[in-house]
Structure 1
Amino acid sequence: MFDNLQKRLDSVFKKLKGYGRLTEENIQEGLREVRLALLEADVNYKVVKDFIAKVKERALGQEVMESLTPGQQVVKIVHQELIELLGGKTSSLSLAGKSPAVIMLVGLQGSGKTTTSAKLARFLKKKGRRPYLVPADVQRPAAIKQLQVLSKQVGVECYPSDPKEPPVEIARKAVLKAPLMNLDTVIIDTAGRLHIDEALMGELKAMKEKVAPQEILLVADAMTGQDAVNMAKAFDDALGITGVILTKLEGDARGGAALSILAVTGKPIKFVGIGEKLDELEAFHPDRVANRILGMGDVLSFIEKAQETIDREKALKLQEKIKKDAFTLEDFRDQLRQIRRLGSLEQILSMIPGFNKLKKMKGLVPDEKELIHIEAIINSMTPEERADYKIINASRRRRIAKGSGTTVQDVNKLLKNYAEMHKMIKKFKKGKFRGFPQGLFG
């Protein structure tokens, strides 16, 4: 989402780092570029004005002007101020106190409330809670059925809502039923409208009064930019929201909503939706997002995602196989499957520091289809061939290419890369590792 902003800021900082000594004039010039980059990213103009004023005050102070690396110091200041702008620290859900804890999800129609309800239930289940999904949207056809289907997919209970019943009554009954089923967190998917109106707000206020939720989370579409910020303010004025979930961050939104919401509403972003799959909801970490914006990667999110997705038992077995030099093409295929479960290659690699710069310099764009081709090639091999790639002669290569719908050249490339990987593993074991081979993607 922040690609364009990152490119602009990277260009500004490269210029600032090029100066041996910073003057007030070139700091001013650099900050003008930063201001334009933020405005182009659809950040609220008042937020931009305050942000630039804070950075300028610090950049013109002694910590930069007397520094041996003034350009780096400016980047450090912008990084610190970005973290503050995004909330300073991670805001977790406040679910302590009465049981069951009640979470109301509110927002306009089309923002992704129903899917986000299921994603949130899955997220909380992973944290050890026992969620209860409540479909309280009786306006949209099939909304109740949709949440019932999603609840089965994430493995949580769903209240059997009656579309003829008022939403407030549905919510009240569900909250009373949850403790009887030993469930400790009620997530209410409320109705939305195409725009904010009195009927919608009246219904939500009545529901709030009846179920006394610990959290009222606004689900807002990041693609709507400043409209998402304005909507957050309107919902907060009417209901007193406790936080925001931004959806569709994987799209080409310019990022202005994420950078403006807290400053305008005073309410933190608590979660972000990074894709359509039910596991693609993340806690919002201001420092990690600031790192991504400035091209510093996000290794912590990458590690957390890997820990959640990768089978620990399989990983330990693989470790033993590598130690014994018994890493086969079958193991290689299993590893590719685990990697694909992490998300798109570009999304994974963008978390690694420096990848975006490498992508820009060398035009390195990972091809998802290549992983599919590799798996098809390995699937077309016999168990003996997967166990010992050296027996794969020319006629076998032709058969494998035909069976996988690829070319002999594709098969040759895979086997060559696999052989290089074998050599690399041996060097690594002997402590002679000096770097990666060219790799799978050329």
Structure 2
Amino acid sequence: MIHLNKRNAFKLAAAGLSYLALGTGIALAQTKLDFYYPVQVGGPVTKIIDGYVQKFMAENPDIVVAPIYAGNYNDTTTKALTAAKAGTPPAVAVLLATDVFTLIDEDVIEPIDDLVKSDDDKAWVKGFMPAFLKSAQTEGHLWSIPFQRSTAVMYYNKQAFKDAGLDPQKYPATWEDMVAAGKAVTTTDSSGQVNRWGVGIAGNIGSAQWLFGALVAENGAKLVNEEGTETYLTDPKVVEALQFWVDLSKKDAIHPPGIFEWGTAPADFLAGRVAMIWHTTGNLTNIRKNATFDFGVAPFPGHPTPASVLGGGNLYIFKDASDEQKAAAFKLVKFLTSDEILADWAVQTGYVAPRDGSWETDTMKKYVAETPQALVALKQIPASVPEFSTHENARTTKILNDALAAALTGSKTAEAAMADAQKEIDLILKPYR
């Protein structure tokens, strides 16, 4: 038997090896993985992720995973790209589904289908909902795996509806319904100061393009093609959707003026300052735990057809990781996207489990029985469109966000804002056509 003193054992551990107390005394090499992930919703997400990683390592003692919270989505993408360019990429990371074109152009990710070999692997891929897989597929490859996915839904204060004489069980089904309900639930004090706004749709950078995608889809149009090479911002239906958003505060006076913030929207809703908010299903658990009033979750209204937008992050494996790390990362990805883990993740965070099988687990069945609001997201998925995503996505998304802000703050008309943005984006995307 091999005997190791503490100093030698420490040196070996530092070199990435671990000696287990095996009867044969054989050393077991451990593969180390850095796992970057963001937090974009309320709740103790870091503790949940740490728990999953501990469980994975207990089942795979030859793999050591370092879960690294890297900030919000944008921060995490920036850190992952910086690390990759420095030659020290994470093996796996949760990044926005919309980052796919950027990550391909930077040549930093490995196609997932290169790692899908067995029949079990192929069956696992087929278990994901097609709507979510679609955002991970381009150029004939599957580039990532859906994980913390969401759709945007409308949360509404049933008590505010009841107090305004509205049926609290009847949510607005059209744009016109929402405006009418918004006017009914908006309240002011004796001086005319608004105490409670009717509706809030976040227009800050990073969120505006997501919710605008839903407005556009509700109006029967789209912002971008599937290849990420063309945008359609001057389409009259796109301009009309933006004008509707602007009018909520300007003409209808049911929306806070200027830019309504994504980060404070749940707190504004919970405090009764806004009766309806458009937000991610990923905040359902947070709102459910903290609301002091009866609330509803509804699909977005339509004009006339209801539609929403898919969002959230996928799991990517990085190209310059070693073959051993890629194999280990693939194991981790499969573990994190098993039916059972995704069901638990959905219950603990409010994200939408992107596998049909997750919704058949006992965990999810119990959750849905207790929280039927979770079914709204599931039913809305077939009517949801992918989020705005193009080549050089950070640049084009900022241009779109700036244009939306210009219209919402009144510095440009909706038509001019979209026309200016389209010209800028055309220059960026021309080389990719």
TM-score range normalised by the length of the shorter chain: under 0.3
* Larger helix fraction of residues: 1
* Larger strand fraction of residues: 2
TM-score by length of 2: 0.26
Q: Which one scores higher on RCO, CA 8 angstroms, separation ≥ 6?
A: 2
Higher-Rg structure is: 1
